[in-house]
Structure 1
């Protein structure tokens, strides 16, 4: 059973962390723009049963990858977020979306982020910029995550095992905003990030687009 084991770190200084990663010999894969579509039934059955069906697009200059992911719940872990994960790379995002919709699934939420992946031995260290926060996410064997956490000086950071959707709901609550499942960059933010990453900008509105105030 393929398991995803991860932990998030909040309020981290990215510049200091990058220096620590370089000093530890970590390798950077470069930042990319990431768009995600979350599919569910009209009644929200997948979300109610802690299941996630996601179609993800990663964009680099001159290269795009699409991944279909299914995440299933496993027994709760107090110190790490653990999910059973099944992932498949696909060539045609539009065709896959049509197939999912034909099976009765629709787009229930969208979210975007800028992801800067690093690898330190067998642990993935992701520096993520979301429309509402900057978060570090580590994925790998639990004992190795704890070791890398110490090596990078993150022992005193605020640790979370919440999903990005849960962190988003917390953010909206702190800002007296109503609950919302989607979090995407506003058009100006989207254009700015895509320019910084050397990507083209698509000004056409996306279904379910819900930029933050």
Structure 2
């Protein structure tokens, strides 16, 4: 059975970052989006990123960033990948990839099968596709809302290699999600928190263990 890549997103403190690293997270994510309870400054993300260097891939989550922010993030943080979680077009994904010189992950919100039709256009430019639950229309956040989408919409084998599943995953549901979707990578944020923005080290460890022991 192939190894499943695990990303713990929205990390903001040394103890929770260490919990993710010690449990064997493959990717760690830092959110730079002021509306999010998981928001960290570029400087803070840089401190955490240096702590994780050589132990996991380091990802910054940005939402519809302009060129100046992309450049500032690259300089300040020390990154392995940029995650785009806004309304960026496929062409904008390509521009950010060129500007940053880094691999780019593009999040796509899913509510219906029509949303999955976007995947092919983005996959031509993004290094990785992340499927997340489409946020409610009145939601302030483009992701991290603790909601899942209908996994039955996914037909195994029809998505680009390395696609990542997100949206409402928890230590109790991730094994079932993997079995039903055939995903080889998963991302969690709110599903390992005691409250929005506050990660639970024990839940992080339990999530990764649930993936590894499936």
Measured against the shorter chain, the TM-score band is under 0.3
If each structure's helix is expressed as a fraction of its own residues, which one has the higher value? 2
Which of the pair is proportionally richer in strand?
1
TM-score (norm. length: structure 2)? 0.27
Relative contact order (alpha carbons < 8 A, sep ≥ 6): 1 or 2 greater?
1
What is the TM-score normalised by the length of structure 1?
Answer: 0.27
- Report the structure number with the largest CA radius of gyration: 1
